[in-house]
Amino acid sequence: MKRLLAISALAFFLVGPTYAQMDKDVLKDIENIESKVIDWRHHFHQNPELSNREFNTAKKIAAHLESLGMEVQTGIAKTGVVGILKGDQPGKVVALRADIDALPVTERNDLPFRSEVTTTFLDKETGVMHACGHDTHISILMGVAEVLSKHKDKIKGTVKFIFQPAEEGPPPGEEGGAKLMIKEGVLKNPDVDAIFGLHINSGTPVGTIKYKSGGTMAAVERFVVNVKGKQTHGSAPWSGVDPILISAKIIDGFQTIISRESPLVEEAAVITVGKITAGVRFNIIPESAEMIGTVRTLDPSMRELIMRRMTEMAGDIAKAYGGTATIEWQNNTVVTYNDPALTAQMLPTLEGVAGKDNIQLMKATTGGEDFSYFQEVVPGFYFFLGGMTPGNTQPFPHHTPDFKIDDAGLLLGVKAMTQVAIDYLAN
């Protein structure tokens, strides 16, 4: 008998904990709530709100959590909502996070529940759209909260539901997002031991989950280059200094940092200029130009190299053409780092929920996610949920007007997040 016990203990140590299939009562409640989760998703999609302005979104979330009898905290990081669910048995604290903000994108797909909301963003009229799928994240986590609130007897510890605003970044001049939630104590009282999050993906088939251990998504920097020249008549460029020409040369130079100076065999990196502002009239060479863009890196040393070389290059190129240029930096996210031990621990849960064949190992992406700030404080695991209709060969990317998610993908999200919470606390 002692020998058998020793062998069993050794096997547990070598392969880690094993997980049972989903409890039939929990599974039944998840399946019964699917239509409600989809209805919530349609509501949030039709009523999107930008970062730090998610007032009505937060009210609906808070009302739902309060109806479940939870302790509810509001106004965290401006519009964030937190629900605390205590299980019937003592144990650790696990956090589940969903982001709740939309984007300044004008929707143009054919969804019957598409957004018609408009607003002014950075002095421009624009539509507002859940063009990244955060509406599905909110609805999934609201569903998880309702299911787990009915099964407190299966919870060994506490579940903290974090509904986070401003994942896409707060408006200029404001604080927001995960960083501000952490600053205001969202991972404290009770102290969180581990955190989990998911992101719907329009290019991954429904029923599939993708993951990666370690570095998963990129550190994201926002940069602003201010170029100064000398204004003159468009017919006599030799009498001035053209900041638009200088901007073009700087953009071209930036790309050589990626193609000729960055060791891309180590990790991927991207420099993108997304906005240029200059001039007021066709026949005037303006005095100044402004460029706004982003840098994406997965390696700290490459991040340092690229930022240093961009700063040097902007000034040097402008000087060569008779102007000046300065660059300002703002960090938006750090590397989304999935704790390897936690990832390995929870992989059997995802396999049990979705089926082993539906769990796929992925490569790192150059997208960014401020869930990464939570992972700097506590171990975290962030995975991707399929939202593409099977057989679709041309899915529309995130952050685009035609972006779509198949409602059929939400059910697996509820199952995965529910079971992740139960199994983490149980083991």
Residue 333 one-letter amino acid: T
Whether residues 54 and 118 fall in one domain: yes
The C-alpha atoms of residue 3 and residue 74 are separated, in whole angstroms, by: 54
Which residue stretches of 47-124 are H helix?
Answer: 55-67
Domain CATH for 262: 3.30.70.360
Q: Is 259 exposed, middle or buried (0-12, 13-18, 19+ CB in 10 A)?
A: exposed
Whether residues 257 and 377 fall in one domain: no
Radius of gyration of the chain (CA): 24
Q: Where residue 38 falls among pLDDT bands split at 50, 70, 90?
A: very high
Residue 402 lies in a domain: yes
Residue 8 lies in a domain: no
Per-residue tokens: 195: 């955190």
Q: Measuring CA to CA, how many Å separate 46 from each of 113, 135, 259, 392, 400?
A: 6, 9, 42, 24, 16
Residue 357 lies in a domain: no
Q: Where are the beta strands (DSSP E) in 346-389?
A: 359-361, 365-368, 380-388
Whether residues 201 and 240 fall in one domain: no
The C-alpha atoms of residue 323 and residue 315 are separated, in whole angstroms, by: 9
Our count of domains for the chain comes to 2
Whether residues 198 and 224 fall in one domain: no
Whether residues 205 and 225 fall in one domain: no
Chain center to CA of 331: 15
The C-alpha atoms of residue 104 and residue 122 are separated, in whole angstroms, by: 10
Residue 9 lies in a domain: no
Percent of the chain topping pLDDT 70: 95
Whether residues 202 and 285 fall in one domain: no
Residue 155 lies in a domain: yes
Parallel, antiparallel, or unpaired: how do β-strands 284-285 and 232-233 relate? antiparallel
Whether residues 168 and 275 fall in one domain: no
Is residue 167 within 8 A of residue 99, CB to CB? The reply is: yes
Whether residues 156 and 198 fall in one domain: yes
Whether residues 109 and 257 fall in one domain: no
Residue 242 lies in a domain: yes
Range of the structural domain that residue 77 is part of: 17-212+362-426
Each residue's pLDDT tens digit, 112-159:
999 999 999 988 999 999 999 999 999 999 999 999 999 999 999 999
Per-residue tokens: 60: 């609906």
Read off the pTM: 0.87
Q: Angle, to 10 degrees, between the axis of helix 24-46 and the axis of helix 410-426?
A: 130
Each residue's pLDDT tens digit, 140-153:
999 999 999 999 99
Domain CATH for 190: 3.40.630.10
Whether residues 41 and 65 fall in one domain: yes
Each residue's pLDDT tens digit, 328-359:
999 889 999 999 999 999 999 999 999 999 99
Residue 264 lies in a domain: yes
Whether residues 165 and 21 fall in one domain: yes
Q: What is the pLDDT of residue 12?
A: 39
Phi, psi of 172 (to 5 degrees): -55, 135
The C-alpha atoms of residue 307 and residue 284 are separated, in whole angstroms, by: 32
**Catalytic positions, written as ranges:** 101, 167
Q: Residue 83: pLDDT above 80?
A: yes
Whether residues 264 and 206 fall in one domain: no
